[in-house]
Each structure stands twice: as structure tokens, then as C-alpha cells.
Amino acid sequence: MEARSHQEFVVQGIAASKGIAYGQVFVYLQSNVEVPSYVVDPSRKEEEIRRFEKALVVTRQQIQKIQEEVARNLGQNEAAIFDAHLLVLEDQALLSETIRAFEDSGKNVETCFHFVAKRYIEAFAAIDDEYLRERAADLRDVTQRVLQNMLGQSTSSLSQLVDKRIVVANDINPSDSASIDRSQALAIVTDTGSKTSHAVIVARSMKIPAVVGVGDLTSRVQEGDWAIVDGYDGVITINPTEQTLFRYGQIRIQKNSFEQRLIEANTQPAITLDGVSVSLMANIEKTEEAVMVKDYRAEGVGLFRTEYLYLSSARMPSEQEQFIAYKSVIDAVAPQPVVIRTLDLGGDKQFTGKNDLFPEEDNPFMGFRAIRFCLENVPIFKEQLRAILLASAFGKVRLMFPMISGSEELARAIVLLEECKEELKTRGQAFDRELEVGTMIEIPSAAMTADILAQQCDFFSIGTNDLIQYMIAIDRVNNRIAHLYEPTHPGVVRMLKRIVDEGHRAKIPVAVCGEMAGDPVFVPLLLGLGVDELSMTPPLIPAVKYLVRSMSMADAVKLAEKALTMNSAKEIFALCDEFYRTRVNVG
């Protein structure tokens, strides 16, 4: 056993990739490129633009080389991460704005590119959606690489790790994560980041633990410190004692055993002990994620978020581009169904290409977004509706409208959908004449008028993230009050019951596609309340299926009935947690 002279301390972060690792720390600190600013002689303007274009070409070659290495070492899915980087280098809005800023200001092109890219990065970093917020990391990574190439600086790399190490970094950009020596990295820990960061995606592919959001750990550890990384609970223990090492040795054995049980359970159908079949669907954001639907044995796509098609470029995607993207998902999961949600853009998900489309708002969560934006921008909306209709000719497709607040909005959206059907008939193009249309229930006014909305659509899908946020006036990304975000608040439980009852009264199915659906602790409550379908991020399916196969629906109904009589969120959570723990031995 190696000697450890420093005192043990523990840091809590966000569990991002499962597993437990023990080893010495390698501290990796990135620094932003220092960009000089100066006025370019007018006679050298063309030369300056050529210098910029050359840096773009060199950057493209570097990224393509990284992509090839990732495809060879980790696989095509992981290599697809860098498609977004290559698109940045082709983004005409970004590039033309840089040239325009250069021509207007006369400043060196590095300064202009840095200024324009920074504005785009800040726009994406402000997005509430965790996955889409990672678009800022793509932009930041490419920007740094272009600037380094223009300034003649060498790029940093994690490819030369000495011996096996736990990498602790302030952040790890996609290029760095792709260059990590998989034989030497024991785990990845970052001060910032999220569960959907590229470093995390790579860590999962490499099957090594990862914990993100640990604050200022890079300033608290030293090169060579020893650490335990717990990728299950998001805990980092620096300089662990012998007692801690023994405890984690036992935990690792138990966790490995439980993981094996999950894998085995996922090969079986999601049927409760008393014979009730439960439909488990997948939430996806990008077309390349469709492969995970079958990998994790989902019964289809319960939520395909289409915002990425708009946020991955500075221009609106055409009807044909959208059709190709939707059809690729349909083909990948056939013969299973795909629920396509129409555009939820605006508010905190700002489209950077045409800022005049979106007004600045003090409260974007309740602002000009989703269906409100679509109903005010009919040509854009109808392009998407036609693309979805065209794709519906190639498989089982359902269409779903987000952020509906009442029957008038839903009626207007359906009228536009019918107009699109007539336009396609006139063109002589095929589509599913029986296409099912659903409504997301994520605003309290929609929940309270569920009986009215149920008469206008074919299914409900409850977006618990926003519904809870709006119901109890909690901003989930505000650290000061995020702890008050309580899925088991009595008001939330009663509202869920109302939505389900009204849907069933109208003989339409009710799904849940928010975070509650992927949490095994809450799944019995949702099923007991009568929810027909659960849709979640694909990797969460095995744990949910394992829980479903370990419980009876009769017990879930009793759980929900009891929860509806309780007075506090803590009491209801304790009830749900006990139900879960008595049926699942997680070790």
C-alpha cells in the first residue's frame, strides 16, 4: 500500500459515468488563448483574410484526423461528436460575420473571430437544456483551435499520460477528451461540465468512471495525490484512509454485481410480477442517437426533440433537410414508433442565426418560445410540419406539440397541420393520413383543462420538468432554490393524477417524458397513478426495467393511493424511496 501523508477529504459532484476508480491524480489545467488586438494595414487586408482561411483549413484537417482516430479506437458513434465541430467551420453566419467585423473595424482577424464566436458561445451557454448547452463547448473548442493555428501556438493534449492516472481538470473540451489515452486514464473528474458533456460521452464509451461539477477541485489537489472516484454517487475522496479504501472495495464488488443484474434484466420484457406490461420508450436529441433505441431495447422513441436541427446551424433547416433527419430516425428504429415533438425554440434556447426573430426577455421560461414562436412564424412552422408529414409515410410517426397552454393554441396548431396536409395532397406527395397528434402537458393551465384538450388530440405526454417548475415557481437552474424543486410535492402528485384521469376518461393514452420517468424511485408512483408509457434517456432504461420486473402493479396502485393522502413532499418521497429499496437490492 502506497503511503499517503495528506489528510482525507471528500468532494461531491455530479455522477456522470458509472464505476469506481482508485489511483494517483493528474491535474490538467487549460488556459484560454491570449488574443492580441491591433489595426491591420489596409494594404494587407486580402492577406489577412487568406490567413484566416488557411487557419480554417488547417483546423478542419486536425479535426478530421481526430475524428478518424476516435472512429478507429472508440467507434463511429463517438466519432460523430466531431460532426458538429466540422459544421462550425462551415457556418456561413459565423464566418461572414467575422469578415464583416474585420472590414468594419480594421482590427486583426483573430480579434474579430474571437469577438463573434464569443457572442455565439455565450448564447448557447445560456440555454437551459443541458444537452443543447453543450453546443457552447463545441464552439469554444473549435474557436480555441482556430485561434491557436492563427497565432502559431501548439494545441494541448491528454494523449501523453504517464502511467495510469485519474484526470482532474477544470474542463475537458471534445478534442482533449478524444485524445485521452484510454489505457492510462483511470477516471475523469472536471470542475465544470454536465452529464452530457463530450468528456462524459467518451468516458462512458471507454467504460471509465466520470464525475463532473466538482467546483474548484483543481485548486485543492496536487499532482500525485491519491483519489477514489465514485461514478455512481458522484463522490471524490482525496487521499482516502485505509478504512475508506476497504469500504469502497466492498462497494465495487456490490455495484458490479448489481450492474450485471441490470444487464440481464434488460434482455427481458418490462412486465411486473403480477403480469402487467409497461411500455418503456426513449428520449433522443440527435439523429445519431437513434441507434441507442435498439441498443437499450426501448419500444420506440417517446420524444424526439427537434431543436438540435435548428441550433446546430446559424440558419433555419429546410423542409428537405428536416425530412431527411426525421426519416433517418424512423428507419433506425423501425418498426417501432417515433414521437416527434415540434420546435421548442426561443426563450432560453436562442437561435443565433437570426436574432431579430426573438426579442430579449426578462423571463425566458415564460416567454416567446415553442408553440408561441411557431404560431407567430407560420412559414417556419409549416416547413417543419410538412417535413414530419412526409417522414410519416416511412414508418409509425406521432406528432406532438410542446408548451400548449389551452385549447385555442392547440386548435390553431391543428389548423396549420391540416393546411400542410392539403398542400402535400396538391403536390401529390404521400403521408400518413391517420397521423396521431398529441399534446405535451407541461403548463398548469393545460393540466387544469386536460378534459378539454383531450377532446382535440390522440394522446398526452407529460413534461414533468417544466410542469413542476411552473407549478411550484421554482427555477431548476437557480442554485439558491433548486433544492425546492420537488417532484413529490402533493400539488404535483395530485395534478399528475388529474391529467391521467382526464386522458383516460377521453380514452387516450398518457405518457411521461420528463426526468421523473427515468428515475426508478418515482416510476412506481407514476405507474400507480395510471401512466401508460414512460420515456427516458436510453441508458436509464435498464434500471427502470429492473425495478418494473421487481414490483407488482397492485402495490404501485396502493403506493399512489397513499401518496395522494399525504401532506408533504418529504413524506411522499420517503414512501417512494422505501418502496424502491425494499424491492431492489442495489448493494
Q: Annotated active-site positions, please?
A: 198, 513
DSSP conformation class of 107? B
Q: Where in 156-251 does DSSP place strands (E)?
A: 165-169, 185-190, 210-212, 226-230, 235-238
Helices 407-427 & 378-391, crossing angle to 10 degrees?
A: 60
Residue 466: which of 398, 369, 375 has the closest Cα?
369
CA distances to 27, 156, 226, 338 from 30, rounded to whole Å, are 10, 8, 21, 41
Q: What are phi and psi of 271, to 5 degrees?
A: -125, 130
Q: Count CB atoms within 10 A of the CB of residue 585.
A: 11
CA distances to 8, 210, 325, 351 from 307, rounded to whole Å, are 45, 27, 12, 9
Distance CA(569)–CA(574), nearest Å, equals: 9
Q: How far is CA 430 from the centre of its chain?
A: 33
> Which element (helix H / strand E) includes 544?
helix 541-548
Distance CA(403)–CA(446), nearest Å, equals: 9
Q: Where in 82-207 does DSSP place strands (E)?
A: 165-169, 185-190
User: Which residue has cell 414490483?
Assistant: 551
Q: For residues 202 and 181, is the Cβ–Cβ distance under 8 A?
A: no
**Please, what's the b/e burial string for 220-241 (b: 16 or more CB within 10 A of its CB; e: otherwise)?**
ebeeebbbbbbbbebbbbbbbe
